Chains A and B, each alone.
Chain A
Amino acid sequence: MTESLADVEQAKATRRSPVAWFRASSFQYELILAALIVVVAVGVGIVSHGLFWRAANISQILVDVAITGVPAIAMTLVMITAGIDVSIGSLAGLAAAVVGVTFENGWPTSLAILMALVATTFGGLLNAFIITRGKVPPIITTLGTLSIWRAVVYALLGGSWISTIPPFLVNTLVLAKIGRYIPYAFLGAVLLVIVGAWASRTRPSFRGIFAIGNNEEAASIQGIPVRKLKFFLYTAMGLLAGVAGLLMLAQSPVVQPTAGTGFELQVIAAVVVGGTRIQGGKGSIIGSVLGAILVEVVQDAVIMFHIQSFWQSVVLGGMILVSVLIGMRGRRQE
């Protein structure tokens, strides 16, 4: 097949200027996000007289990014199928509660962690089952299980706090670092992100996820295993929500009955800031992670600037709206 004139023109333009290269790139939004992160980080660094770049602050941010970023992997894919999962905050709390209760009762660390992940994976499985088999819309299903798992967490804890947490979690995930800056939690998150991004971009079976989001019926007719894919995604969502719960526990080692409340909205915010289209069909895991980083850096900036911490959620709300407006402008040009 011969190259079309437009292709040649584009190739020339690509060689000519970085602006043209940017226009032709399929990662436009991600590049904007990355640039924004750099600008904000440099700006905060200057204004805070370097406080921002201290190892303690950076590693704190990286743990926060890991906590939101890990479930954001599955949330991105779920939202690409035009679904949503608002139960993950309760599931993260469930993971924390299970670890707390079992460890307090003398279970070994490994078993306690395994039990927590099994519990949240089961939670994801239940969502998946109700959504794919019962045909109940994802928002309603997960709204229901959000309440159910929160009740289970309260029942497990009996309303009290647990502060005997496996030291392993804190020591290896948060305190152990590579070169004072990068905690293992972040490293693990990066690994998961790479696997997720690679799978969703290259594995043929995962490409179906985008087709589902664009037109579920058409995807189904084309032979894409819609039910299977969705089932897998919501189950994986449960597992990753559990991982996030463990990371939360590692960051602040106490289990409260309210652990993880509102976490689901934070993850959805990161995914939305990361450019995933809420109506489905479009989005990227890398974008979501960049979104998580931007959200965390800006939240940190609010503290660095000595602004009342109450402004954090105002800023987050504004970021969600602005990022969507920017993303929509880009799409209209397409």
Chain B
Amino acid sequence: MSDLKKQSWMTSTAEQYGMLIAMLVLVLLFTAGVAPGALSVTNLATMTTVGVEIGLLAFGETLVILGGGGGIELSVGSNLALTQILIAVMVQHHVAMLPAALFGLIIAGALGSLNGLLIVVARIPAIIVTLGTLYAYSGLALVFSNGVNLSVFPNSFNTIGQGSALGLPFQFLVFYIPVALIMWYITTKAVFGYQLRLVGTNEKAARFSGINVGWVRFRAYMLTGLLCGLAAIIQSSRFATARPDAGATDNLNAIAIAVLGGTYIFGGRGTIIGTALATAVVTMLSFTFGYANINSVIETGTVGAVLIIAIYGQTLLQDLLKRRGRET
């Protein structure tokens, strides 16, 4: 990568973050105006607990979309639901909590890998594979739970989703921050991240430079599965219940957050920091709406509008940059 390209990439990322930070400030001002009480320290801490699960799913979504080639994951919410139900069923059958949770992680990784296999090996478009598994996984969650919530976890398990560490919510400090750091490392410093970006930007070039495109993409789906598993453990602990209908709206929300965070929907561009910032924007917005007693659906609508406007802004910006590039 030439210095010039690197520089322009860096300025464009700076512009992306600028937009997100502006959005975050706007939301903060909005919160201060509508529900000033929501900005207390305890409330800010509570806010993070709400954002952890969807934030983890959005990280996975970012990876998958980064890989390009029509990469998208519609089944993250269904994976989340099926995994927490299977963990609960294992606990019901007298498996100890810790091995059950670990098995859950493996299962979630396997569910993500199945998506990856169908996409990479059977060469079915990702949107179709994950649409199919969206139905299949959430259906199986209902089958295994008989359609009811399962509250079978031991009290000790609640720490993960309800406890606190160093004054911060347990799952935020112990899971989200480390995972975010790892993801950041993977996407920016590790070979895998470079490969993923290259595969997403130019598949042919990646192939010619000896990258196993399928294997790179497959790992993105597997990692997404693992993240779904982690989110499932945290969520079922937070509610002390495994719900078969959990994550029904997360499928599309995770995509919305990733895209809002600057992940280019056709692959190749996107950052973990951007996704984390977008998660903060959306979570804070949703918390404010909840705090001010506004129906959460109105918040979803606001996110939808923000999504379209943000992407429209990006396209305008790119057109402008292209034109400027042509002139010089």
Q: Could you say which of A148, A313, A316, A320 contacts B304, with CB atoms under 8 Å apart?
A: A148
Question: When the two chains form their complex, are residues A317 and B133 in contact, meaning their CB atoms are under 8 A apart?
Answer: yes
Stretch from A48-56, A128-136, A213-221 at the B interface: A128-136
B124 / chain A contacts, CB cutoff of 8 Å: 321, 324-325, 328
Residues in chain B near residue A152, CB distance under 8 A? 301
Q: Which of B129, B131, B295 has the most CB of A within 10 A?
A: B131
Q: Is the CB of A146 within 8 A of B304?
A: yes
- B312/A136 in contact, CB under 8 A: yes
Q: Which residues of A contact B125 (CB under 8 A)?
A: 278-279, 324
Binds B, one of A168-176, A247-255, A265-273: A265-273
B interface size (C-beta, 8 A): 45
Which residues of B84-126 are within 8 A (CB) of A?
118, 122-125
B139 & A147 in contact (Cβ 8 Å cutoff):
no
Interface string of A271-291 (1 = CB under 8 A from B): 010000011000000000000
- Cβ-defined partner of A320 (8 Å) among B122, B132, B302, B307: B132
Q: Is B311 an interface residue (CB 8 A)?
A: yes
Count class of interface residues, chain A = 35 or more
Q: Is B136 an interface residue (CB 8 A)?
A: yes
Could you tell me the distance between the alpha carbons of A312 and B301 in the complex, rounded to whole angstroms? 30
**Is A145 positioned at the interface, with any CB of B under 8 Å from its CB?**
yes
Point out the residues of chain A lying under 8 angstroms from B132, CB to CB: 317-318, 320-321, 324
Closest to A318 in B: B136
By the criterion CB–CB under 8 Å, are B139 and A257 in contact?
Answer: no
Q: Which residue in A136, A147, A155, A315 is a CB contact (below 8 Å) of B311?
A: A136
Which candidate, B6-14, B27-35, B190-198, B251-259, is the interface stretch facing chain A? B251-259
Interface digits, A146-176 against B, CB 8 Å rule (1 contact, 0 not)?
Answer: 1111111011000100000000000000000
B305 near A: Cβ within 8 Å? Answer: yes
Closest to B298 in A: A151
Which residues of B have CB within 8 Å of A313?
135-136, 138-139, 142
| Interface bits B284-301 vs A (CB < 8 Å: 1, else 0) | 000000000001011011
Q: Are A140 and B142 in contact (CB under 8 A)?
A: no
Chain A residue nearest to B297 in the complex (CB)? A154
* Contact residues, A236-269 vs B (CB, 8 A): 257, 262, 265, 268-269
Let me know if A311 is at the binding interface, CB within 8 A.
yes
CB-CB contacts below 8 Å: B225-262 with A: 248, 252, 255-256, 259
The reply on B265 being an interface residue by CB < 8 A is yes
B212 within 8 A of A: no
B38 an interface residue at 8 Å Cβ cutoff? Answer: no
Q: Is B211 located at the chain interface by the 8 A CB criterion? A: no
Is the Cβ of B143 less than 8 Å from the Cβ of A328?
no
Check if B128 sits within 8 Å of A278, measured CB to CB: yes
**Residues of chain A whose beta carbon lies under 8 Å from any beta carbon of chain B:** 84, 86, 130, 134-137, 139-141, 143-152, 154-155, 159, 257, 262, 265, 268-269, 272, 278-279, 308, 310-318, 320-321, 324-325, 328
Query: What 9 pairs across the A-B complex have the smallest Cβ distances?
Result: A151-B301, A147-B304, A317-B136, A317-B135, A313-B139, A314-B139, A310-B142, A144-B308, A320-B132
Question: What are some 7 contacts across the A-B interface (CB < 8 A)?
Answer: A151-B304, A318-B136, A320-B132, A321-B129, A321-B133, A324-B125, A325-B122
Given contacts A312-B139, A313-B136, A314-B140, 14 further A-B contacts (CB under 8 A): A143-B252, A144-B308, A147-B300, A147-B303, A147-B304, A151-B298, A159-B295, A310-B147, A314-B135, A317-B134, A317-B139, A320-B131, A320-B135, A324-B128
